[in-house]
Structure 1
Protein backbone atom coordinates (compact mmCIF):
# COMPACT_ATOMS: atom_id res chain seq x y z
CA UNK A 1 0.00 0.00 0.00
CA UNK A 2 1.00 3.59 -0.49
CA UNK A 3 0.51 6.18 2.20
CA UNK A 4 2.39 8.45 4.55
CA UNK A 5 4.62 8.29 7.57
CA UNK A 6 3.57 11.09 9.88
CA UNK A 7 5.99 12.09 12.60
CA UNK A 8 4.95 14.63 15.21
CA UNK A 9 7.53 16.29 17.48
CA UNK A 10 6.61 17.63 20.91
CA UNK A 11 7.67 17.59 24.55
CA UNK A 12 6.35 15.46 27.37
CA UNK A 13 4.92 18.50 29.20
CA UNK A 14 2.81 19.86 26.30
CA UNK A 15 -0.94 19.70 26.85
CA UNK A 16 -4.14 19.86 24.82
CA UNK A 17 -7.77 19.59 25.95
CA UNK A 18 -6.71 19.06 29.56
CA UNK A 19 -4.45 16.09 28.72
CA UNK A 20 -0.81 15.54 27.87
CA UNK A 21 -0.61 16.08 24.11
CA UNK A 22 1.03 12.68 23.60
CA UNK A 23 -1.85 10.92 25.38
CA UNK A 24 -4.41 13.01 23.49
CA UNK A 25 -2.84 12.04 20.14
CA UNK A 26 -2.83 8.34 21.05
CA UNK A 27 -6.48 8.61 22.09
CA UNK A 28 -7.29 10.47 18.84
CA UNK A 29 -5.61 7.71 16.83
CA UNK A 30 -7.97 5.21 18.43
CA UNK A 31 -11.01 7.47 18.03
CA UNK A 32 -10.31 7.96 14.30
CA UNK A 33 -9.71 4.21 13.92
CA UNK A 34 -6.20 4.72 12.55
CA UNK A 35 -4.08 1.58 12.25
CA UNK A 36 -1.62 2.46 15.01
CA UNK A 37 0.76 4.87 16.63
CA UNK A 38 4.21 4.60 18.17
CA UNK A 39 5.45 7.01 20.84
CA UNK A 40 9.22 7.35 20.98
CA UNK A 41 10.74 9.24 23.92
CA UNK A 42 14.08 10.89 23.13
CA UNK A 43 16.90 11.69 25.49
CA UNK A 44 17.67 15.08 23.94
CA UNK A 45 16.69 17.39 21.09
CA UNK A 46 16.82 20.99 19.92
CA UNK A 47 13.64 22.86 19.02
CA UNK A 48 13.00 25.45 16.33
CA UNK A 49 14.01 28.22 18.74
CA UNK A 50 17.41 26.52 19.21
CA UNK A 51 16.63 25.61 22.81
CA UNK A 52 17.92 22.24 23.99
CA UNK A 53 15.28 19.94 25.49
CA UNK A 54 16.32 16.86 27.42
CA UNK A 55 15.26 14.13 29.80
CA UNK A 56 17.03 14.93 33.04
CA UNK A 57 17.63 12.56 35.91
CA UNK A 58 14.62 13.60 38.01
CA UNK A 59 12.72 15.86 35.57
CA UNK A 60 11.13 14.43 32.43
CA UNK A 61 8.73 17.31 31.69
CA UNK A 62 11.02 18.77 29.01
CA UNK A 63 11.70 15.37 27.41
CA UNK A 64 11.40 15.39 23.60
CA UNK A 65 8.88 12.91 22.19
CA UNK A 66 8.20 11.70 18.63
CA UNK A 67 4.81 10.27 17.72
CA UNK A 68 4.91 8.17 14.54
CA UNK A 69 1.95 6.96 12.47
CA UNK A 70 1.73 5.09 9.17
CA UNK A 71 -1.52 5.99 7.42
CA UNK A 72 -3.28 6.01 4.07
CA UNK A 73 -3.92 9.32 2.28
CA UNK A 74 -7.57 9.28 3.42
CA UNK A 75 -6.57 8.62 7.04
CA UNK A 76 -4.00 11.44 6.91
CA UNK A 77 -6.67 13.82 5.59
CA UNK A 78 -9.06 12.89 8.42
CA UNK A 79 -6.34 13.30 11.05
CA UNK A 80 -5.12 16.69 9.80
CA UNK A 81 -8.66 17.98 9.45
CA UNK A 82 -9.28 17.10 13.11
CA UNK A 83 -5.97 18.64 14.23
CA UNK A 84 -6.84 21.87 12.41
CA UNK A 85 -10.35 21.94 13.89
CA UNK A 86 -8.88 21.42 17.39
CA UNK A 87 -6.29 24.15 16.67
CA UNK A 88 -3.43 21.91 17.82
CA UNK A 89 -0.03 23.58 17.50
CA UNK A 90 2.35 20.79 16.58
CA UNK A 91 5.40 20.39 14.33
CA UNK A 92 5.23 17.43 11.95
CA UNK A 93 6.77 15.74 8.94
CA UNK A 94 4.74 13.90 6.30
CA UNK A 95 6.68 11.54 4.04
CA UNK A 96 5.24 9.36 1.26
CA UNK A 97 5.96 5.66 1.84
CA UNK A 98 5.06 2.17 0.74
CA UNK A 99 3.94 -0.09 3.56
CA UNK A 100 2.57 -3.57 4.09
CA UNK A 101 2.68 -6.70 6.21
CA UNK A 102 4.94 -9.71 5.76
CA UNK A 103 4.36 -13.24 7.01
CA UNK A 104 1.21 -14.87 8.27
Structure 2
Protein backbone atom coordinates (compact mmCIF):
# COMPACT_ATOMS: atom_id res chain seq x y z
CA UNK A 1 0.00 0.00 0.00
CA UNK A 2 2.74 2.58 0.80
CA UNK A 3 4.31 1.95 -2.63
CA UNK A 4 1.03 2.77 -4.34
CA UNK A 5 0.84 6.09 -2.50
CA UNK A 6 4.47 6.80 -3.31
CA UNK A 7 3.87 6.07 -7.00
CA UNK A 8 0.87 8.39 -6.96
CA UNK A 9 2.93 11.15 -5.33
CA UNK A 10 5.65 10.73 -7.98
CA UNK A 11 3.02 10.85 -10.72
CA UNK A 12 1.57 14.08 -9.33
CA UNK A 13 5.06 15.55 -8.98
CA UNK A 14 5.67 14.88 -12.68
CA UNK A 15 2.35 16.51 -13.57
CA UNK A 16 3.20 19.49 -11.37
CA UNK A 17 6.61 19.86 -13.02
CA UNK A 18 5.06 19.78 -16.50
CA UNK A 19 2.40 22.26 -15.42
CA UNK A 20 5.07 24.55 -13.94
CA UNK A 21 6.86 24.51 -17.30
CA UNK A 22 3.62 25.37 -19.10
CA UNK A 23 3.01 28.20 -16.63
CA UNK A 24 6.54 29.50 -17.24
CA UNK A 25 5.93 29.46 -21.01
CA UNK A 26 2.62 31.29 -20.57
CA UNK A 27 4.27 33.95 -18.38
CA UNK A 28 7.09 34.33 -20.93
CA UNK A 29 4.64 34.68 -23.81
CA UNK A 30 2.53 37.23 -21.93
CA UNK A 31 5.61 39.24 -20.95
CA UNK A 32 6.90 39.16 -24.54
CA UNK A 33 3.52 40.32 -25.85
CA UNK A 34 3.44 43.18 -23.34
CA UNK A 35 6.96 44.30 -24.27
CA UNK A 36 6.18 44.14 -27.99
CA UNK A 37 2.89 46.01 -27.54
CA UNK A 38 4.62 48.72 -25.53
CA UNK A 39 7.41 49.16 -28.03
CA UNK A 40 5.08 49.23 -31.05
CA UNK A 41 3.13 52.14 -29.54
CA UNK A 42 6.38 54.08 -29.50
CA UNK A 43 6.83 53.46 -33.20
CA UNK A 44 9.51 50.80 -33.10
CA UNK A 45 8.77 47.10 -32.68
CA UNK A 46 11.02 45.39 -30.16
CA UNK A 47 11.81 41.66 -30.45
CA UNK A 48 13.32 41.21 -27.03
CA UNK A 49 14.31 37.68 -26.08
CA UNK A 50 13.53 37.03 -22.44
CA UNK A 51 16.25 34.94 -20.81
CA UNK A 52 15.08 31.83 -18.97
CA UNK A 53 16.80 33.15 -15.85
CA UNK A 54 14.46 36.16 -15.84
CA UNK A 55 11.48 33.82 -15.82
CA UNK A 56 12.82 31.30 -13.33
CA UNK A 57 13.50 34.03 -10.79
CA UNK A 58 9.79 34.76 -10.52
CA UNK A 59 7.88 31.55 -11.30
CA UNK A 60 8.28 29.90 -7.91
CA UNK A 61 7.37 33.14 -6.13
CA UNK A 62 4.26 33.41 -8.29
CA UNK A 63 3.26 29.82 -7.60
CA UNK A 64 3.75 30.38 -3.87
CA UNK A 65 1.56 33.51 -3.94
CA UNK A 66 -1.11 31.72 -5.98
CA UNK A 67 -1.18 28.83 -3.51
CA UNK A 68 -1.14 31.19 -0.52
CA UNK A 69 -3.83 33.61 -1.73
CA UNK A 70 -6.07 31.23 -3.63
CA UNK A 71 -8.52 32.06 -6.37
CA UNK A 72 -9.45 35.47 -4.94
CA UNK A 73 -6.13 37.00 -5.96
CA UNK A 74 -5.24 34.69 -8.83
CA UNK A 75 -5.38 37.32 -11.57
CA UNK A 76 -3.46 39.86 -9.47
CA UNK A 77 -0.72 37.34 -8.75
CA UNK A 78 -0.40 36.32 -12.40
CA UNK A 79 -0.24 39.99 -13.45
CA UNK A 80 2.40 40.58 -10.80
CA UNK A 81 4.51 37.70 -12.13
CA UNK A 82 4.26 39.06 -15.67
CA UNK A 83 5.21 42.55 -14.46
CA UNK A 84 8.27 41.17 -12.69
CA UNK A 85 9.42 39.23 -15.76
CA UNK A 86 8.94 42.30 -17.98
CA UNK A 87 10.88 44.46 -15.52
CA UNK A 88 13.70 41.91 -15.31
CA UNK A 89 13.88 41.50 -19.10
CA UNK A 90 13.93 45.25 -19.75
CA UNK A 91 16.60 45.78 -17.07
CA UNK A 92 18.71 43.03 -18.62
CA UNK A 93 18.28 44.55 -22.09
CA UNK A 94 19.24 48.03 -20.82
CA UNK A 95 22.36 46.69 -19.11
CA UNK A 96 23.30 44.79 -22.26
CA UNK A 97 22.95 47.83 -24.52
CA UNK A 98 24.95 50.19 -22.32
TM-score (norm 1): 0.27
The structure with the greater share of residues assigned to helix is 2
The structure with the greater share of residues assigned to strand is 1
Query: Which gives a bigger RCO, structure 1 or 2 (Cα 8 Å, sep 6+)?
Result: 1
- Larger Rg: 1 or 2? 2
